[in-house]
Amino acid sequence: MTFRLPEERVPETEPWRDRKFLRWAYHERGLSPRTIAFELGVETARVTVYMESLGILRPWRHEDTLRRLHVEQGLSADEIAARDEFDCSPTTVRKYLSRYGLTNEDPDDVTYGRLDELNSV
């Protein structure tokens, strides 16, 4: 029995693998991976690993999500980073876009700019 998750919303088997359920619990209910794991009676790491691999947690690391947003929908790194579920900078998005070969930039050349600003002073 869960307190924060209605029984009818929890999948019968392996709910920590269900993208739709995890997305709902995390984004719509506002529950942390730790709380979701507690409610499901499993380890936090199990929920966190699946949430990340499904692109729910840290979506900028999820290649399929970046491919859909950047290549298919034509969004820029700035537009992707501005989305509600993304909690990162445009530079982080650019770094992962280049790491996955979705841009022509070299991942090692994408910087956050702070060191470059210090050298120019």
pLDDT tens per residue across all 121 residues of the chain: 567 888 888 898 999 999 999 999 998 888 999 999 999 999 999 999 999 999 898 888 889 999 999 999 999 999 999 998 888 899 999 999 999 999 988 878 887 666 555 555 5
Residues in the chain: 121
Last residue of a domain, one of 53, 72, 89: 53
The verdict on 69 and 109 lying in the same domain is yes
Q: Helices (DSSP H) in the chain: which residue ranges?
A: 19-23, 33-40, 44-53, 63-66, 77-81, 90-99, 114-119
Shared domain check, 76 and 112: yes
Say how many domains are in the chain: 2
**Same-domain status, 75 and 39:** no
Q: What pLDDT is stored for residue 115 in this prediction? A: 56
